[in-house]
Structure 1
Amino acid sequence: IAAWRAEADALLAELRGANQALIEVELPAHLSVSQLVELDTDEQTFAQRLRRPTPFPPNPTARRGTAFHAWVERWFGATRLLDIDELPGAADATASPDADLDALRDRFLSSRWAQRTPSEVEVPFETVIGATVIRGRIDAVFAESEGRWLVVDWKTGAVPEPAKRTSLIVQLAAYRIAWAQLAGVPVEKVRAAFHYVRSGETLEPDDLPDRDALAALLAK
């Protein structure tokens, strides 16, 4: 029994030592915008995911969001609307049904955005921030007066509480910087906003981080 206890104590001491060890994880040369948001939200969880990548479980909510974005793209760029069976992922018989997609479409069509004409939709980009290449895709860009632009990201989920919006603002900041680079205009001429389709609320932060602020986040 004494030997068992000694072995158990040794194993527990090893476990405690491993949990307290400082393990440095090198930041990849390329990050997606969602990874940038995750880094700002929870740096430790982000580092753990980099060290031991694991696949995300199937997410019916993400599938719904993908379907909605595909529909919006067609709304702005095609002469007819897509039926639900034509949307991406519709052939996957094991996926959960997108029961509220019709409601999301109706809410969008009743918003002011449905009647505006974007200059670009689903714009892929790469931009260098600090020593890191950030990749992403901008949902829609609208031209405004005096050479100004408005970048809009469609959200199909609920509006987050104010205390939980800080990290999401990083996403808009990256989009704003990327579009300014693509359009060849000063970043001050680009605004960025989230439109929460379900509630009909549009959030446009007044003060977005600039390139230096995002570079500082990546350099931490």
Structure 2
Amino acid sequence: VRLTPEETRTLASWDRDLDALTGELLRARAAVTDVPLPASLTASQVLHLAADPDGLAQELARPMPRPPQPAARRGTRFHAWVESRFEELRLPMLDPDDLPGSDAEIADERDLEDLKDAFERTPYAHRTPHRVETPFQLAIAGRVVRGRIDAVYKEDDGDRTTYEIVDWKTSRTRTADPLQLAVYRLAWAEQQGVPPETVKATFVYVRSGEIVRPRHLPDRAALERLLTRDTQDRWRTAGEEPPDEHTPTGG
């Protein structure tokens, strides 16, 4: 097939573009470097590691300042309101990843007030927590994971003491990662010197009043594997675990 001069120039342009793109790809691959995990991680970073290790590596390699997030500030205010509802405590200065409710989806002030009303309809509003906004540092796999537990409820039936870790979720969808509760449960159990089996872990979706208790949370060994292995596969496979225990409450 004989090409016209214009078609010949177009093909030549395409060849040059292809060569340029190929060169950029090769340079990008050559520039890839291993990003070591820091000695100290937030619980949020552990979740990021499990879900998207490459994304976490990019974040660690090129940290970017975070723009102001009004919804996140309202989420922090909701957690502070829950805390003050039970006891008079001031939140200490925290890193952005440590702020309670920093991932909240609270649209405006009216939405914040609706969340407060919804919280009052949950059974936890009428129970007295053992601890609220409790900070922790968990030494694991040669690193320190730090975070903050929204609430801990204590139950004592005379024969033994059990605890329930509770994390308030203000999002509109049930998307919380059970790995978060696994970290919290282990941290509390080791902090108190009790078996992890005596610590329940619960997500409370405040908007709907739904209570979710994931089954078969990973133990210390599983968390250590997550922080040490080269291939960061998810600790659970879709369909592998039985359904979580969940309880709808309120209206």
TM-score (norm 1): 0.82
Q: Distance in 1 between matches of 2:84 and 2:72?
A: 19
Residue 108 and residue 13 in structure 1: after superposition, are their counterparts in 2 closer, same or farther (change >3 A)? same
Residue identity opposite 2:64 in structure 1: T
1:180: which partner in 2?
189
Report what 1:102 is aligned to.
113
Structure 1 residue 127: Cα displacement: 0.8
- C-alpha offsets along residues 126-157 of structure 1, whole Å, 9 cap, x if unaligned? 01111110000011000023211000011111
Runs of 4+ in 1 over 6 A off after TM superposition: 4-10
CA-to-aligned-CA distance 1:39-78 (integer Å, 9 cap, x gap):
1111111111011111233222211210100000000114
Bigger RCO of structures 1 and 2 (CA < 8 A, at least 6 apart): 1
User: Which residue, 114, 117, 126 being the options, matches 2:128?
Assistant: 117
Residue 159 (1) aligns with residue 173 (2): yes
Q: Which residue of 1 aligns with 2:80?
A: 70
Matched, 1:207 2:221: no
Count how many residue pairs are aligned between Structure 1 and Structure 2.
Answer: 198
Higher-helix-fraction structure: 1
Matches of 1:77 and 1:195, distance apart in 2: 20
Q: SS of 1:148's equivalent?
A: strand
Output the CA distance in 1 between the equivalents of 2:63 and 2:120.
Answer: 39
Unaligned runs of 5+ in 1: 79-87, 89-95
User: Which residue is 1:219 aligned to?
Assistant: 228
Q: Which residue of 2 aligns with 1:84?
A: none
Residue 190 of structure 1 corresponds to: 199
Any idea what SS the aligned residue of 1:27 has?
A: coil
Equivalent position to 2:62, from 52, 60, 65: 52
Q: Is the Cα–Cα contact under 8 Å of residues 202 and 214 in structure 2 kept in the other structure? A: yes
CA contact (8 A) 2:71 2:108 kept: no
Q: Cα RMSD between the aligned structures?
A: 2.3
Deviation of the 1:11 alpha carbon: 4.5
Q: Establish whether residue 131 from structure 1 lines up as the match of residue 139 from structure 2.
A: no
Q: Secondary structure at the match of 1:133?
A: strand
> Is contact 1:159-1:199 (8 Å) kept?
no
Counterpart of 1:43, as a letter, is P
Closer, same or farther in 2 for the Cα pair 1:18/1:99, shift >3 Å? Answer: farther
Measure how far apart 1:5 and its partner are.
Answer: 9.3
For residue 144 of structure 1, give the secondary structure of its aligned residue in structure 2.
strand
Residue 163 of structure 2: aligned partner: 149
Measure the CA separation in 2 of the matches of 1:129 and 1:171: 15
My pick for the range that moved more, 24-33 or 48-57, is 48-57
CA contact (8 A) 1:140 1:152 kept: yes
State percent identity of aligned pairs.
46
| 3-state secondary structure, aligned to 1:99 | helix
TM-score by length of 2: 0.72
Q: Distance in 2 between matches of 1:214 and 1:158?
A: 28
Instruction: Tell me the distance in 1 between the aligned counterparts of 2:190 and 2:69.
Output: 33
